[in-house]
């Protein structure tokens, strides 16, 4: 395997993972967040313990003081990352003026999350790091599913979504649509930019649920998003 070339790497730590923040954290947290940024940049399989140690300018002995192997790094960095994603999601939801505003705010967050992820990261997790993959599945099937349900109920109560919606069916369809975006056979990455695809799929989902009042509001938010 080729050595990880530091000069070509800009660590992907999203807006809450800049290097200044990482450098101020405890050693274990610093390792986790730096490693996860490398996984996002190059895929999990392509990054070795040597690469992580080299990037952080530390010895492998120091690295192994905190983590017994790469699998533990992957698991704990994934857990840390999902915890912060959930916190950011809750912040977006709490600030939203209504159910549709909530969806557009969460879309902005998911753009930051997924646009920086290497296409192979989910494949690598599922194939090589089963425990960490289980964390992703729990995040999707518990946290994400419940937040989607709550959004649908909120929109119905606000008169923005139709009253006759089957909440459970629609919530599970929403998760399926999110996963669909990452199907390379349907949306090849070299043809479909992920943020464009996300917005198109979200718009289709919202318009299918919306009342006339909701349609008007969606168009207003869409115009604002396009102007930005």
Cα–Cα distance for residue pair 69/88, rounded to 1 Å = 29
Per the model's pLDDT, the better-predicted residue between 21 and 91 turns out to be 91
- Least Cα distance to 152 among 223, 211, 84, 89 occurs for 211
Topology (CATH) of 91-227 = Tetracycline Repressor; domain 2 (1.10.357)
Domain ranges within the chain, ordered by starting residue: 6-70, 91-227
The pTM assigned to this predicted structure is 0.81
Please give the CATH number for the structural domain made up of 6-70: 1.10.10
What is the H or E stretch that residue 218 is in? Answer: helix 212-227
Most trustworthy range by pLDDT among 101-115, 173-187, 205-219: 205-219
Give the pLDDT confidence of 36-55 residue by residue, as tens digits.
999 998 999 999 999 999 99
């Amino acid at each position: 395997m080729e050595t990880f070339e530091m000069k070509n790497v800009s660590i992907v730590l999203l807006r809450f993972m800049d290097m200044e923040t990482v450098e101020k954290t405890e050693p274990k947290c610093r390792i986790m967040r730096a490693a996860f940024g490398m996984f996002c940049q190059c895929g999990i399989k392509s990054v070795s313990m040597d690469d992580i140690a080299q990037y952080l300018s530390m010895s492998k002995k120091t690295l192994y003081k905190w983590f017994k192997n790469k699998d533990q790094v992957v698991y704990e960095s994934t857990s840390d990352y999902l915890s912060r994603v959930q916190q950011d999601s809750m912040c977006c939801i709490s600030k939203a003026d209504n159910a549709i505003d909530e969806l557009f705010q969460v879309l902005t967050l998911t753009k930051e999350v997924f646009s920086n992820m290497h296409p192979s990261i989910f494949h690598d997790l599922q194939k090589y790091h089963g425990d960490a993959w289980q964390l992703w599945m729990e995040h999707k099937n518990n946290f994400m599913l419940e937040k989607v349900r709550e959004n649908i109920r909120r929109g119905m109560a606000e008169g923005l979504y139709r009253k006759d919606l089957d909440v459970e069916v629609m919530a599970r369809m929403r998760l399926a649509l999110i996963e669909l975006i990452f199907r390379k056979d349907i949306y090849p990455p070299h043809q479909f930019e992920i943020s464009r695809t996300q917005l198109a799929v979200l718009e289709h989902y919202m318009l299918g649920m919306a009342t006339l009042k909701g349609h008007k509001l969606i168009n207003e938010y869409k115009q604002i998003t396009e102007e930005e």
